[in-house]
Structure 1
Amino acid sequence: MRRTPTLLAVPVLALGLALAGCSSAGSAAPADTTTSSAAVTSDAMASTVLQGTFAGEGGKAVSGTVTITGDTVTLAGFATEEGPDLHFYLANGTDEQAVSAGVRIAAVSTEAAQTFTLPAGVSADDYTDLVVHCDKAKAVFGAAALTR
Protein backbone atom coordinates (compact mmCIF):
# COMPACT_ATOMS: atom_id res chain seq x y z
CA MET A 1 0.00 0.00 0.00
CA ARG A 2 1.37 3.38 -0.98
CA ARG A 3 1.28 6.25 1.52
CA THR A 4 0.71 9.81 0.49
CA PRO A 5 2.65 12.51 2.27
CA THR A 6 0.75 14.27 4.98
CA LEU A 7 0.91 17.94 5.71
CA LEU A 8 3.24 17.19 8.63
CA ALA A 9 5.69 15.33 6.40
CA VAL A 10 6.21 18.31 4.08
CA PRO A 11 7.58 20.65 6.80
CA VAL A 12 9.75 17.85 8.17
CA LEU A 13 11.12 17.21 4.69
CA ALA A 14 11.77 20.97 4.21
CA LEU A 15 13.53 21.15 7.59
CA GLY A 16 15.70 18.19 6.63
CA LEU A 17 16.69 19.84 3.36
CA ALA A 18 17.41 23.13 5.13
CA LEU A 19 19.63 21.40 7.67
CA ALA A 20 21.40 19.55 4.89
CA GLY A 21 22.03 22.94 3.24
CA CYS A 22 23.37 24.30 6.52
CA SER A 23 25.70 21.40 6.97
CA SER A 24 27.19 21.85 3.51
CA ALA A 25 27.50 25.60 4.18
CA GLY A 26 29.01 24.74 7.55
CA SER A 27 31.63 22.60 5.87
CA ALA A 28 32.46 25.48 3.55
CA ALA A 29 32.69 27.96 6.43
CA PRO A 30 36.15 26.91 7.65
CA ALA A 31 37.56 27.46 4.16
CA ASP A 32 35.88 30.88 4.03
CA THR A 33 37.12 31.71 7.53
CA THR A 34 40.65 30.73 6.58
CA THR A 35 40.46 32.90 3.50
CA SER A 36 39.08 35.81 5.53
CA SER A 37 41.80 35.41 8.15
CA ALA A 38 44.43 35.36 5.45
CA ALA A 39 42.92 38.49 3.89
CA VAL A 40 42.83 40.26 7.26
CA THR A 41 46.41 39.21 7.95
CA SER A 42 47.47 40.46 4.53
CA ASP A 43 45.66 43.76 5.12
CA ALA A 44 47.28 44.13 8.53
CA MET A 45 50.68 43.41 7.03
CA ALA A 46 49.99 45.85 4.19
CA SER A 47 49.24 48.64 6.70
CA THR A 48 52.37 50.64 7.18
CA VAL A 49 53.38 51.39 10.72
CA LEU A 50 54.88 54.86 11.10
CA GLN A 51 56.56 56.07 14.28
CA GLY A 52 58.11 59.25 15.53
CA THR A 53 59.27 61.20 18.56
CA PHE A 54 58.06 64.75 19.14
CA ALA A 55 60.51 67.62 19.52
CA GLY A 56 59.69 71.26 20.20
CA GLU A 57 60.28 74.00 17.67
CA GLY A 58 60.55 77.77 17.93
CA GLY A 59 61.41 77.61 21.62
CA LYS A 60 58.28 75.57 22.47
CA ALA A 61 58.37 72.32 24.45
CA VAL A 62 56.65 69.29 22.88
CA SER A 63 57.46 65.69 23.78
CA GLY A 64 56.16 62.15 23.48
CA THR A 65 55.87 59.51 20.79
CA VAL A 66 53.45 58.77 17.97
CA THR A 67 52.61 55.49 16.26
CA ILE A 68 50.35 55.41 13.21
CA THR A 69 49.01 52.05 12.11
CA GLY A 70 46.62 52.22 9.18
CA ASP A 71 44.23 55.04 10.09
CA THR A 72 44.82 54.89 13.87
CA VAL A 73 47.08 57.47 15.50
CA THR A 74 48.34 56.65 19.01
CA LEU A 75 50.25 59.11 21.18
CA ALA A 76 52.15 58.11 24.31
CA GLY A 77 53.78 60.36 26.89
CA PHE A 78 52.56 63.37 24.94
CA ALA A 79 53.00 66.87 26.37
CA THR A 80 53.02 70.32 24.85
CA GLU A 81 53.08 73.90 26.00
CA GLU A 82 49.65 75.43 26.14
CA GLY A 83 48.50 77.51 23.25
CA PRO A 84 45.25 78.70 21.74
CA ASP A 85 43.75 76.58 18.97
CA LEU A 86 46.35 73.77 18.82
CA HIS A 87 45.85 71.07 16.19
CA PHE A 88 47.71 68.08 14.79
CA TYR A 89 48.56 68.21 11.09
CA LEU A 90 50.04 65.62 8.78
CA ALA A 91 52.49 67.55 6.61
CA ASN A 92 55.58 67.17 4.46
CA GLY A 93 57.80 69.39 6.56
CA THR A 94 57.38 71.59 9.60
CA ASP A 95 57.29 75.13 8.22
CA GLU A 96 54.10 77.19 7.74
CA GLN A 97 53.93 76.39 4.03
CA ALA A 98 54.11 72.63 4.69
CA VAL A 99 51.43 72.85 7.40
CA SER A 100 49.17 74.90 5.10
CA ALA A 101 49.53 72.23 2.41
CA GLY A 102 49.01 69.43 4.95
CA VAL A 103 45.88 67.96 6.49
CA ARG A 104 44.48 68.97 9.88
CA ILE A 105 43.60 65.71 11.63
CA ALA A 106 42.63 66.47 15.24
CA ALA A 107 42.57 69.02 18.02
CA VAL A 108 45.38 68.74 20.53
CA SER A 109 44.38 67.39 23.92
CA THR A 110 46.33 67.70 27.16
CA GLU A 111 46.10 63.93 27.72
CA ALA A 112 49.45 62.11 27.72
CA ALA A 113 47.89 59.05 26.03
CA GLN A 114 45.65 59.77 23.05
CA THR A 115 44.22 57.75 20.20
CA PHE A 116 42.34 59.12 17.24
CA THR A 117 41.41 58.11 13.71
CA LEU A 118 42.60 59.81 10.56
CA PRO A 119 39.90 61.45 8.44
CA ALA A 120 38.45 59.28 5.67
CA GLY A 121 40.66 59.19 2.61
CA VAL A 122 43.80 60.41 4.40
CA SER A 123 46.83 58.13 4.36
CA ALA A 124 49.73 58.87 6.68
CA ASP A 125 52.02 57.23 4.11
CA ASP A 126 51.71 60.42 2.06
CA TYR A 127 53.29 62.60 4.79
CA THR A 128 56.61 62.91 6.58
CA ASP A 129 55.65 64.70 9.80
CA LEU A 130 52.96 64.95 12.47
CA VAL A 131 52.97 68.61 13.46
CA VAL A 132 51.58 70.41 16.53
CA HIS A 133 50.39 73.74 15.16
CA CYS A 134 48.73 76.79 16.69
CA ASP A 135 46.21 77.83 14.06
CA LYS A 136 45.47 81.18 15.75
CA ALA A 137 49.11 82.30 15.96
CA LYS A 138 50.19 80.47 12.77
CA ALA A 139 53.06 78.89 14.72
CA VAL A 140 54.53 75.40 14.82
CA PHE A 141 54.99 74.24 18.41
CA GLY A 142 56.70 70.96 17.53
CA ALA A 143 56.67 67.88 15.33
CA ALA A 144 57.47 64.21 15.05
CA ALA A 145 59.26 63.01 11.93
CA LEU A 146 57.49 59.84 10.80
CA THR A 147 59.62 56.83 9.92
CA ARG A 148 58.81 53.26 8.96
Structure 2
Amino acid sequence: MNIKTLFISGTVATSLLLGACNNMDTKKEDMEEETKSETKMDNKDMGESKSMKEGMFKGENKEKVEGKAMIHDNKLMLKDFQSSKGPDLHVYLTNDGDIKKGKKIDKVDYDKSEQTFDLKGINTDEYNTVTIYCDKAHVTFGSAELK
Protein backbone atom coordinates (compact mmCIF):
# COMPACT_ATOMS: atom_id res chain seq x y z
CA MET A 1 0.00 0.00 0.00
CA ASN A 2 1.50 3.32 -0.92
CA ILE A 3 1.83 6.18 1.54
CA LYS A 4 -0.68 8.42 -0.23
CA THR A 5 -3.48 5.82 0.05
CA LEU A 6 -2.60 5.17 3.69
CA PHE A 7 -2.69 8.88 4.48
CA ILE A 8 -6.06 9.41 2.78
CA SER A 9 -7.55 6.36 4.56
CA GLY A 10 -6.34 7.65 7.92
CA THR A 11 -7.75 11.11 7.24
CA VAL A 12 -11.17 9.72 6.28
CA ALA A 13 -11.27 7.47 9.37
CA THR A 14 -10.36 10.36 11.68
CA SER A 15 -12.99 12.62 10.12
CA LEU A 16 -15.68 9.98 10.57
CA LEU A 17 -14.72 9.39 14.19
CA LEU A 18 -14.70 13.10 15.07
CA GLY A 19 -17.98 13.64 13.26
CA ALA A 20 -19.70 10.88 15.28
CA CYS A 21 -20.49 13.21 18.16
CA ASN A 22 -22.22 15.82 16.00
CA ASN A 23 -23.96 13.82 13.29
CA MET A 24 -25.18 10.68 15.01
CA ASP A 25 -28.94 10.50 15.37
CA THR A 26 -29.97 8.92 18.64
CA LYS A 27 -33.38 8.23 19.99
CA LYS A 28 -34.79 10.46 22.68
CA GLU A 29 -34.92 7.51 25.06
CA ASP A 30 -31.20 6.92 24.64
CA MET A 31 -30.41 10.56 25.40
CA GLU A 32 -32.57 10.47 28.54
CA GLU A 33 -31.04 7.28 29.86
CA GLU A 34 -28.92 8.20 32.85
CA THR A 35 -25.51 6.74 33.41
CA LYS A 36 -24.74 6.30 37.06
CA SER A 37 -21.20 7.19 37.95
CA GLU A 38 -19.31 4.97 40.32
CA THR A 39 -17.62 6.65 43.21
CA LYS A 40 -14.77 4.53 44.46
CA MET A 41 -13.36 5.45 47.83
CA ASP A 42 -9.66 4.98 48.46
CA ASN A 43 -8.57 3.21 51.61
CA LYS A 44 -7.49 6.58 52.93
CA ASP A 45 -10.02 9.20 54.01
CA MET A 46 -10.84 11.51 51.12
CA GLY A 47 -11.67 14.87 52.65
CA GLU A 48 -14.64 16.43 50.92
CA SER A 49 -14.14 20.02 49.95
CA LYS A 50 -16.79 22.63 50.61
CA SER A 51 -14.87 25.44 48.97
CA MET A 52 -16.51 27.41 46.19
CA LYS A 53 -14.93 27.34 42.74
CA GLU A 54 -16.28 28.48 39.41
CA GLY A 55 -15.27 29.03 35.82
CA MET A 56 -16.66 29.74 32.36
CA PHE A 57 -16.68 27.09 29.65
CA LYS A 58 -14.71 27.50 26.45
CA GLY A 59 -15.22 25.24 23.44
CA GLU A 60 -12.39 23.14 22.06
CA ASN A 61 -11.75 21.07 18.92
CA LYS A 62 -14.22 23.11 16.85
CA GLU A 63 -17.03 22.23 19.29
CA LYS A 64 -19.26 24.64 21.22
CA VAL A 65 -19.51 24.61 25.01
CA GLU A 66 -20.84 27.66 26.85
CA GLY A 67 -22.00 28.53 30.35
CA LYS A 68 -20.70 28.46 33.89
CA ALA A 69 -19.42 25.56 36.01
CA MET A 70 -19.63 26.03 39.77
CA ILE A 71 -18.64 23.75 42.65
CA HIS A 72 -20.23 24.49 46.01
CA ASP A 73 -21.27 22.27 48.96
CA ASN A 74 -20.16 19.07 47.21
CA LYS A 75 -22.27 19.80 44.14
CA LEU A 76 -21.22 20.59 40.59
CA MET A 77 -23.68 22.98 38.97
CA LEU A 78 -23.83 23.93 35.32
CA LYS A 79 -25.60 27.24 34.66
CA ASP A 80 -26.62 28.67 31.27
CA PHE A 81 -25.05 25.54 29.77
CA GLN A 82 -25.09 24.77 26.05
CA SER A 83 -22.98 22.37 24.03
CA SER A 84 -22.65 20.95 20.56
CA LYS A 85 -24.81 17.86 20.15
CA GLY A 86 -23.16 14.61 21.10
CA PRO A 87 -24.45 11.09 21.71
CA ASP A 88 -22.21 10.28 24.66
CA LEU A 89 -21.26 13.49 26.48
CA HIS A 90 -20.00 13.26 30.04
CA VAL A 91 -18.75 15.76 32.59
CA TYR A 92 -15.37 15.13 34.22
CA LEU A 93 -13.31 16.78 36.94
CA THR A 94 -9.78 17.05 35.59
CA ASN A 95 -6.46 18.76 35.98
CA ASP A 96 -5.86 20.93 32.93
CA GLY A 97 -8.31 18.81 30.91
CA ASP A 98 -6.45 15.48 31.34
CA ILE A 99 -9.31 12.97 30.97
CA LYS A 100 -7.14 9.89 31.63
CA LYS A 101 -6.32 11.11 35.15
CA GLY A 102 -9.68 12.82 35.69
CA LYS A 103 -12.82 11.77 37.55
CA LYS A 104 -15.88 10.90 35.46
CA ILE A 105 -18.94 12.40 37.13
CA ASP A 106 -21.99 11.61 34.99
CA LYS A 107 -23.71 11.95 31.62
CA VAL A 108 -24.45 15.55 30.63
CA ASP A 109 -27.36 16.82 28.50
CA TYR A 110 -26.04 19.06 25.72
CA ASP A 111 -29.20 21.19 25.64
CA LYS A 112 -30.26 21.37 29.31
CA SER A 113 -29.18 24.77 30.65
CA GLU A 114 -29.29 23.96 34.39
CA GLN A 115 -27.73 20.70 35.66
CA THR A 116 -26.50 19.59 39.08
CA PHE A 117 -24.26 16.64 39.97
CA ASP A 118 -23.47 15.22 43.41
CA LEU A 119 -19.76 15.19 44.28
CA LYS A 120 -20.05 13.46 47.66
CA GLY A 121 -16.90 11.49 48.40
CA ILE A 122 -14.79 13.42 45.87
CA ASN A 123 -12.05 15.77 47.01
CA THR A 124 -12.65 18.62 44.57
CA ASP A 125 -9.47 20.38 45.71
CA GLU A 126 -7.56 17.79 43.62
CA TYR A 127 -9.02 19.18 40.36
CA ASN A 128 -8.78 22.54 38.58
CA THR A 129 -10.99 22.00 35.51
CA VAL A 130 -14.48 20.81 34.58
CA THR A 131 -14.34 19.10 31.18
CA ILE A 132 -17.10 18.07 28.76
CA TYR A 133 -15.95 14.97 26.88
CA CYS A 134 -17.53 12.71 24.24
CA ASP A 135 -16.64 9.19 25.38
CA LYS A 136 -17.69 7.63 22.06
CA ALA A 137 -15.51 9.78 19.80
CA HIS A 138 -12.79 10.49 22.40
CA VAL A 139 -13.07 14.25 21.86
CA THR A 140 -12.99 17.07 24.40
CA PHE A 141 -15.82 19.48 23.62
CA GLY A 142 -14.78 22.14 26.12
CA SER A 143 -13.52 22.97 29.60
CA ALA A 144 -13.98 25.48 32.39
CA GLU A 145 -10.96 26.40 34.50
CA LEU A 146 -12.01 26.55 38.17
CA LYS A 147 -10.87 29.48 40.29
- Per the normalisation by structure 2, the TM-score is 0.64
Give me the whole-angstrom Cα distance separating, in 2, the residues matched to 1:112 and 1:47.
Answer: 24
Give me the whole-angstrom Cα distance separating, in 2, the residues matched to 1:100 and 1:68.
Answer: 21
Aligned residue in 1 for 2:103: 103
Report how far residue 75 of structure 1 moved. 1.1
Aligned residue in 2 for 1:61: 64
Aligned residue in 2 for 1:112: 113
Task: Structure 1: state its 5+ residue gaps.
Answer: 1-45
SS in 1 for 2:99: helix
Report how far residue 103 of structure 1 moved. 0.5
Sequence identity (%): 36
Q: Which has the higher contact order (CA 8 A, sep 6+)?
A: 2
Aligned residue in 2 for 1:133: 133
Aligned residue in 2 for 1:14: none
SS in 1 for 2:113: coil
Aligned residue in 1 for 2:51: 48
Aligned AA (1:99): I
Aligned length: 98
Give me the whole-angstrom Cα distance separating, in 2, the residues matched to 1:47 and 1:116.
Answer: 14
- Structure 1 stretches (4+) deviating beyond 2 angstroms? none
Q: Which has the higher helix share?
A: 1
Aligned AA (2:51): T
Give me the whole-angstrom Cα distance separating, in 1, the residues matched to 2:106 and 2:123.
Answer: 14
Report how far residue 47 of structure 1 moved. 2.0
Aligned AA (1:114): Q
* Higher-Rg member (1/2): 1
SS in 2 for 1:125: helix
Give me the whole-angstrom Cα distance separating, in 2, the residues matched to 1:52 and 1:71.
Answer: 16
Aligned AA (1:127): Y
- Per the normalisation by structure 1, the TM-score is 0.63
Report how far residue 71 of structure 1 moved. 1.1
Task: Structure 2: state its 5+ residue gaps.
Answer: 1-48
Give me the whole-angstrom Cα distance separating, in 1, the residues matched to 2:63 and 2:77.
Answer: 22
Aligned AA (1:144): A
